[in-house]
Every structure is written in structure tokens, then in C-alpha cells.
Structure 1
Amino acid sequence: MAAMAAAALVVALAVAGCAPTPTVHDAAVAGNGGDFAKDTQKQLQDAVTAAMTAAGASGAIVGVWAPWAGDWVDGLGTQSTTTKTPVTTEMDFRVADITRAMTCDALYHLAGDGRIDVDKPVSSYDSAYPDLRDATLRQLCDGTAPIGSYRTMLGATMADNPTRVWDPNELVTYGLGQTIPPSTVTPYHDADAGYVLVGLVLERVTGKPIAQILHDEVFAPLGLSSTALPGAKPAPPHTTGTALQGFNSLKDAKGAWVCDKPADVTDASASLGASAAGVVSDIDDLGAYVQALAKGTLTPKDAKRYASPKPVGADTPTWYTAAGGVYRAGSLIGQYGSVPGYATAAYSDPRSGLTVAVVLNNSGAGASIAQDLAFELAAIASKAPAEKGKDAPAAGLPWTAQQYADAIAHSAICAPPSK
């Protein structure tokens, strides 16, 4: 394991060493600098603890920043169910589908420099996919191109073989093999293969590997020193420190969840996610990143990246839409997802600065539990009293903390211990 981690770190350093010197923005999370009131912090901690129990996660790392009220950044629990090693905020973890937003950041950043046109069809840059001759790069990031999800077909195989190295072209092919059902409600669909294809097109245009592109166009300009796309070889998600161990709860022969002995998938290959879900980071970098994402720091002002938001589904609230590789939930902008071992979510309000980032170290319950937790934490923090001399945001969120606490309880795969 140590050798693999070292190799991954060497790759990251090599990428950093050969990249041009970028304009670096402030990488610090713009928060309050002080602590939340004790009552608010207890509510936040109780919410995370309940979500950990529901997901079968032994550990979580969380950051909540409310400029008018306080900050809370903490590691909760232990590295696994069999160790007493505490989780710390310095640990790295896989950010899952938040990688999609980063890949689209790189696309739009390159477009702003005139090196690529987001409204040209994929075939203008790569003729290997004739089925996408009319689909544009913008549509790939919007989730409206005729390409689907490779994990729909490969999810079980990936979970059973987390160390297998996958070719990104193969992942795209599986995505193209998915039939996209026609919809009169929304053209949006969850298409991870589309973001992998964006990465392949960027490689073709720049002549660089996607890991270096993300470093040069996103991580370095934002000063994210603990964020990288690792190599494809199986390795724990180290960039600069130790990794939060990742687990996946499985079902037994009778279909019951086995929560006390989850499968350790810490060493899963980043190729499982590639430019759709392969990046690793830490909590401070993730908070800084999603704030920059929400503010559009790397997106040219005339790019119209979020100009055509689409409903995420037929039954989702009108305040929940998708565009440009991100979700907009009320005033929050961000992403969420899961990969073997981790469920992660990060959202930020570009006006108030309210920012939430969280990772649970068990992917058995899927991605939604991380998003539900992020929304619950945001609702709690949004109601936090303002410090003297500061004003709380006038507008609230279109949901309550209790709504998402109930959603987490409903989606629980692991019951709380009996008293």
C-alpha cells in the first residue's frame, strides 16, 4: 500500500512540476473564522452522527462555513469499525461526482482562452464516436447529450472488482450503449460517460493527460494543493497526507445489510471514475473549491454555462436543476455522488457564502445520503444567529433540516444500536 501511495504522490508532483505557472486565486474558504454557537454546533454534529449510523459509516469529515455566524470543520468517528484511529480533517478522500464539475471547469476555462469551443460537436475534436456527431461539449456537461451512464451497466462489477484498471474509452462505449429514454419533462439524465468523454476530448485538444489538465486549469489556479486526479493504478487516495479509509457495506445471502463488516475498498482504482468521479481532495480544499465553483471563478462571464438549467427529474422540486456539470438547489450550487468507499457532497451559496462539504466513508447507501446530509447541514447553518455587527441572509432555503433528517432515516441501510 505504501509503495502505491508513493507512486500516486510522485505522479501528482510530476504533474505539478511540468505545468505552467498559473494565476493563483485565494484558496482559503471564506468563512467566519470563529465557531458556531454551541446549540448550532450540536445540531450539526448530531446530524452528521445520525447520517453516519444510517450509512454504516465509521467516519465522516465535514465542513460548514457561514460567514455571518461561524465555521465548523471536523473529523468524526474512526477509520474503520475495527480500529480506534480517529478521523482527522487532514485526511484525503475521493470526491466522487464533484469531479464532473471540475472537468467542466477545465472545459470552460480552456474555452475562455480560445483553445476549444463548447458549442462545437464532439466530432469536431474526436471522430471516434459517430453517434455523437451532433452532440456538443456543452451538452455533455449539461447532461443532455445522447450518452448514458456506464455505472448503470458496470456498477456491480466495479464494486466487486474495485482494483481493476478501466480504459476511459471503454467507459464511454458502455455509456453509448445505454438507451436514453425520451422524456417530455426534462432532457437531463445522469450521464457519467459524458464527463469521461469531455476528459478525452480535452486530452486530444491539449496533448496533455487529463490529470495534468485538471491541475493546470483548475487546481493550480485555485491554489488547491491537496487536490489531484491520481493515476489509474490501485492506491489509497493520498495527495499530501493520510487517507480516510473507504468501505462498502454489502448484503448477505438473505438480502440483509451486513453493517458490522463492510468491505474495505480504500485502494480502489481512480479509473473507476476517471474525469467523471476520480479526483481526491481534503475538506479544506473541497470547501474552497465549491465556493469558487459557485462564484464562477474559473468560468468566463460570457460563457452562459448555467443559462439553460433543466429539471433533474419529473418528480423533483422546481428549485432543483442541473446545468454545466453542477446542480442548483435553491441558492446553493454544487455536486454530489459516490464511488466505492465514499459518499461525498459539496454546495455553496455565491451570495451569502454559506458552504457545506461532507464525506462519509461508506458507499453502501449510495450517493443521496451525502446530498441529504449536506442539505440538512445547510438548513441548520442558514438559521444560525448572526454575530453582533453581522447580518444573516435575508432569503432562506426552500426546505427544512427536518425534511432531510427524515430522508436520511428513510434511506438508512444500518439501524442505530439498540439501547
Structure 2
Amino acid sequence: MRMFSRWRRTATAVAGAAAVILALSGCTGGSSPQARTPQQVSGDLPAETVDELQAAVEHAMAATGSSGAIVGVWVPWAGAWVTGLGTTSPDSDEAVTTDMAFRISNMTRPMTCDVLYGLAEDGVVGLDDPVSEHVASSPDLDDVTLRQLCDNTSGLAGSRDTTLPEALRTPEREWHPREVAAAGLGQDRTEAGVAFTDSDTGYLMLGTALQNASTETAAALFREYVTGPLGLRATTLPGRQAAEPGDPALPGFFSDGADRNEGCVDPREYTELSASYGFTDSGAVSTIEELGVYTEALAARVKDGDKPSERWSSPKPISTTSDSWYQYAGGTYIAGSMVGQQGSIPGYLTSAYSDTDNGLTVAVVLNNSAASDAVVGYLAKELAAIVSKVPAREGETAPEFGLPWTAEDYHQRIADGAVCPLPEGDGE
């Protein structure tokens, strides 16, 4: 297993090799043999590459009505680009900065799976325990396992479409996870273990089961199995009380139908929100540096030698029509050689991906959640494609690899998914 390369360059990470070894071989999802990849080289990416990256992010900002974005791109053999773009709100001149915290939406899912695999290693739960064993109020889920909840193969329907309107009306509302999950549990479900079904319900139920089995809160479990071993201080699963995602915080917004019709000029602010709405599905918060560190560390655990580790050993296609290289397992999308997530929570669209072989990592947040969460996933893949061809700095060696998509393809998909007006000529 490779060591993740930016450990010593991230101020918020724990110093020392012992902490790194603990993070990668201990309680966050399975131990594996370790191997090194080149350390992240210092310095900026080439100016022409930065221009391409910035144009891509600004294109996505326009498509989603976002006044601001924070983005991190780390290319171990060439350099990095970590920056804030735009302003904190449509009517503000305050610049976005890279130390601002935000909600990481579905990047919470792999963290919840980290807890599952950590508790399984510690003998607290079994990966194939039925949900009903740990959530007594769900006897009808005796044919669904904890592993299937993590893999999104539970067959459970999603809850978000039903509950989102209420969350937007009352962002300060404190939710019980079973209250949110009930919207999905009340719908018909498909056979467990057969196919991928994108279900927030499953991750809400997984968090509930892990709390019950361990008699610890989900927040404490995240500290023990996710953020503590990696030394992440700004990455947390907040409590139930509505609050900003951190201090300082990137303000988050949502443009409803009326605002979209007016050109996305007066979105409603959702910086303060109860994290109980997302809970162990999408409730966590972080900063761009810490999200990059986490995602790279996650990708470092996907392989055991040349083979997928247990958690990622049985991926499922996203759909019957999706590309063969696009699959799902272990709480993450598998896109070619990269793994990651993308998602939305009121106020934010967030995505992060990292290459399992060479450590190339991208992370990005947009501060308007009106568009489909697929759009921010498209942006992360566009950024990865742009930098995948960057030449190595003198004295470094670029890996031989390629991504099965082009930057141009995802640039167009973002234009096709725009919910706000694009500048003239920017939709091509």
C-alpha cells in the first residue's frame, strides 16, 4: 500500500511517520502491505495548466450559480494548485479563501464505511450482520447486511427527494436519522445484494446500526476511526444543533426555481444547517486541504498488492448503460483508476477523487447546491483529466497512466447540466 504523499506538507495533519502507518494499516478499513510512491513535489503547476483548471472551475461556478469555489489539485510529480475562487456571496466583495470550512456531503459515506470496517476488525460487528441485529426497530431488514449498506447494494430506496423540501424550508430543524430514513424505508425496495442503488437511506441506517453496536455516537466513531488516525482537526461530524460548518466558513446557498428564472442572482443562504439532516450519509464538514488528505489516504487502501482489498473487491456497475469503468464499492465511486464521491447538501456541491496508483488527487466545493450533484462530479473528473497529462518536473518521473475520459467531454456535460445562465459562447 502506498503512503499518501502530502502528509508532511499539510499543516493540519499529524507530524510523524508513526501516525501515517497507523492511519494506513490500522483501524480505518483493513491492513495491507505498504509501498511508497514519490512524495508530492513542492511548487505550483505550470501556468498554462492553472489557466485551464481555473477556466473549468469558473465554468462550473456559472453553471451552478455559485459565487465561490474552493479547489485543490495535487499532482505528485508536477506540483499543486490550491485556491479559492470568487466571492463569499453574490452581493459581497469578500474573496473566498482556502481555510474556509464547508460541508463535504457524500464524502461522508466512505468515512461511515471506514467506521464499519474498523469496528469489524475490532470484533464489534460483522460485515455480514443483518441490519435487524443492530437496529431492533427494523425487523424487516433481516435480509440486508451492513456490508450491503456500505456498498449501496441494499435495495433500499432513497429518502432525499422526499425530505429535501422540508430541509430547505427549515434548515435549523434537528432530525433523527430514522426520521429521514423513513421516507426511503416506506418505499418499495429491490432485492439486496444484486445491484447498485444510490440510497442515502442505507448510510443513515448504517450509521444508526454502528452507533447501536458500539454504544458510541457517530461523531465519536468518526474521531476514533477516521479523523483521529489521520490527524484531521477540521474534519468532523457535527452535532444536531444548526451551525456553520466551521470558522471561517464558506457560505452556502441554494437557488430555487424563481431565482434560477431570474438568473441565479438572489439565492437563499444555508450556511447554518443542522448536520443531523445528512448524519452519516452527508453530514460531515472539512476544509480543502484535509479533504485532499483524506481522499488520498482512502485511495491508498483500495489495493492489496495488485488486487483490490476486500472492501473494494466486488464492485457493481452504476447502471446497465454506464461505462464499464464506472462502478461502485466500499462507499466510493470507482472511475477508472480513481476513487471518490460527489454529492450535495443544502448550500454545497462537493466532490473529491484520488488515483489508487499514483496519488493524483482533486477536491472541489461549489457554494450553490441548486444543480444536480452529478455536475460537481463532472468537474472533479474534468480537473483530473486536465492534469493527468502534466509533465514531470525536472528530476521527477511522471507515471504511465491514462484516464478513460476527456476534459472536453465533462466540460460539455457541465454545460448540459447548467441550472443558471452561462456566459454567451460558454455552452460549447
Q: Corresponding residue for 2:301?
A: 296
The one of 50, 58, 61 equivalent to 1:52 is 61
- Deviation (angstroms), 1:182: 6.7
Secondary structure, counterpart of 1:65 in structure 2: strand
- Deviation (angstroms), 1:257: 5.5
TM-score in terms of structure 2 length: 0.87
Residue by residue over 1:272-324, the C-alpha shift from the partner in whole angstroms, topping out at 9 and shown as x without a partner, is 1001000000001000000111112899x996111110011122111000011
Distance 1:147 1:284, change over 3 A: same
Aligned AA for 1:121? P
Equivalent residue runs for 1:85-104 within 5 Å: 85-104=94-113
Q: Corresponding residue for 1:223?
A: 231
Q: Corresponding residue for 1:333?
A: 339
The one of 345, 352, 358 equivalent to 2:351 is 345
Residue 171 (1) aligns with residue 177 (2): no
Residue 197 (1) aligns with residue 218 (2): no
Secondary structure, counterpart of 1:322 in structure 2: strand
Q: Corresponding residue for 2:143?
A: 134
In the aligned structure 1, how far is the partner of 2:185 from the partner of 2:327? 24
Report if the CA contact (8 A) 2:155-2:192 is conserved. no
Secondary structure, counterpart of 2:93 in structure 1: coil
Report if the CA contact (8 A) 2:302-2:356 is conserved. no
Q: Corresponding residue for 1:273?
A: 278
The one of 21, 41, 45 equivalent to 2:50 is 41
Q: Corresponding residue for 2:367?
A: 361
Identify the range of structure 1 (57-66 vs 313-322) with the bigger mean alpha-carbon deviation: 313-322
Report if the CA contact (8 A) 1:132-1:146 is conserved. no
Report if the CA contact (8 A) 1:342-1:362 is conserved. yes
Secondary structure, counterpart of 1:318 in structure 2: coil
| Structure 2 portions without partners, runs of 5+ | 1-17, 24-37
Following TM superposition, where does structure 1 have runs of at least 4 consecutive aligned residues deviating by more than 6 angstroms? none
In the aligned structure 2, how far is the partner of 1:258 from the partner of 1:209? 42
Distance 1:257 1:408, change over 3 A: farther
In the aligned structure 1, how far is the partner of 2:361 from the partner of 2:221? 26
Q: Corresponding residue for 1:260?
A: 265
- Deviation (angstroms), 1:198: 1.1
Q: Corresponding residue for 1:4?
A: none
- Deviation (angstroms), 1:31: 2.9
Q: Corresponding residue for 2:316?
A: 310
Report if the CA contact (8 A) 1:250-1:258 is conserved. no
Distance 1:161 1:315, change over 3 A: farther
In the aligned structure 2, how far is the partner of 1:245 from the partner of 1:82? 12
Residue by residue over 1:330-366, the C-alpha shift from the partner in whole angstroms, topping out at 9 and shown as x without a partner, is 0001111000000000000021110000000000012
Q: Corresponding residue for 1:9?
A: none
What is the Cα-based RMSD across aligned positions, in Å? Answer: 2.4
Distance 1:96 1:298, change over 3 A: farther
Secondary structure, counterpart of 1:101 in structure 2: helix
In the aligned structure 2, how far is the partner of 1:197 from the partner of 1:154? 16
Secondary structure, counterpart of 2:380 in structure 1: helix
In the aligned structure 2, how far is the partner of 1:258 from the partner of 1:179? 38
Equivalent residue runs for 1:138-177 within 5 Å: 138-177=147-186
The one of 375, 378, 389 equivalent to 1:383 is 389
Q: Corresponding residue for 1:392?
A: 398
Report if the CA contact (8 A) 2:301-2:309 is conserved. no
Report if the CA contact (8 A) 1:249-1:257 is conserved. no
Report if the CA contact (8 A) 2:155-2:197 is conserved. no
Q: Corresponding residue for 2:215?
A: 207
Residue by residue over 1:24-67, the C-alpha shift from the partner in whole angstroms, topping out at 9 and shown as x without a partner, is 3289x963321111111111111111111111000000000011
The one of 21, 25, 34 equivalent to 2:20 is 25
Distance 1:302 1:61, change over 3 A: closer
In the aligned structure 1, how far is the partner of 2:199 from the partner of 2:40? 33
In the aligned structure 2, how far is the partner of 1:222 from the partner of 1:44? 28
Secondary structure, counterpart of 1:260 in structure 2: coil
In the aligned structure 2, how far is the partner of 1:405 from the partner of 1:218? 33
In the aligned structure 1, how far is the partner of 2:207 from the partner of 2:245? 20
Aligned sequence identity (%): 46
Aligned AA for 2:195? P
Secondary structure, counterpart of 1:24 in structure 2: helix
Q: Corresponding residue for 1:413?
A: 419
In the aligned structure 2, how far is the partner of 1:234 from the partner of 1:87? 22
Aligned AA for 2:347? G
Aligned AA for 2:365? V
In the aligned structure 1, how far is the partner of 2:164 from the partner of 2:416? 23
